[in-house]
A = this chain, B = another copy of it.
């Protein structure tokens, strides 16, 4: 009963988190998307070609110099509406219980998402990008150039997904 209240499904396991965190992050801006409720968000980012806007806090805007020359970026953001204590999860669309580190679920000890986006435009402190699937207002943590030489692995395999989905 109490477990259900806290959103635990059968087979899921929560752990006690440490009393204190070890380091602090700054929110560097906000991400503007068309989605205000979780059920509206695309299941994964390639399902949508919606153009989203990354609003970088003017304090950090000088850090965008050179970003306009990148075709793709890594965007890190803080999924601030998820519980952080699950180690085993039962995603609704798979039959299986899996470890948090085998999933891209927002529920994780450090709720930081990594998304690869295609950059459309940089205008002052605003970036127009395609490839996000997060809620409107999500806090921005970082932007990095995407280097195909180190970041692209076309033949990577996620075995559990193959077994459950193909």
Q: Interface on A for B, CB 8 Å cutoff?
A: 13, 15, 17-18, 20-28, 44-46, 56, 59-74, 76, 78, 80, 87-88, 96-104, 108-110, 112, 114-116, 118, 131, 139, 141-161, 163
Query: Complex formed: what's the CA distance from A88 to B61 in Å?
Result: 10
The answer to whether A45 and B76 have CB atoms under 8 Å apart is: no
Nearest-neighbour CB distance to chain B for A137, whole angstroms, equals: 13
Query: Complex formed: what's the CA distance from A115 to B151 in Å?
Result: 7
Nearest-neighbour CB distance to chain B for A104, whole angstroms, equals: 6
Sample 9 A-B pairs with CB under 8 A, ordered by A number. A23-B80, A63-B88, A69-B102, A69-B157, A69-B163, A72-B153, A112-B142, A114-B144, A152-B156
**Which residue of B62, B88, B118, B150 is within 8 Å of A88 (Cβ)?**
B62
Given contacts A24-B24, A151-B152, 17 further A-B contacts (CB under 8 A): A21-B26, A22-B26, A22-B78, A23-B80, A28-B109, A62-B88, A63-B87, A63-B109, A65-B98, A65-B99, A76-B114, A102-B145, A108-B142, A116-B153, A131-B150, A145-B158, A148-B154
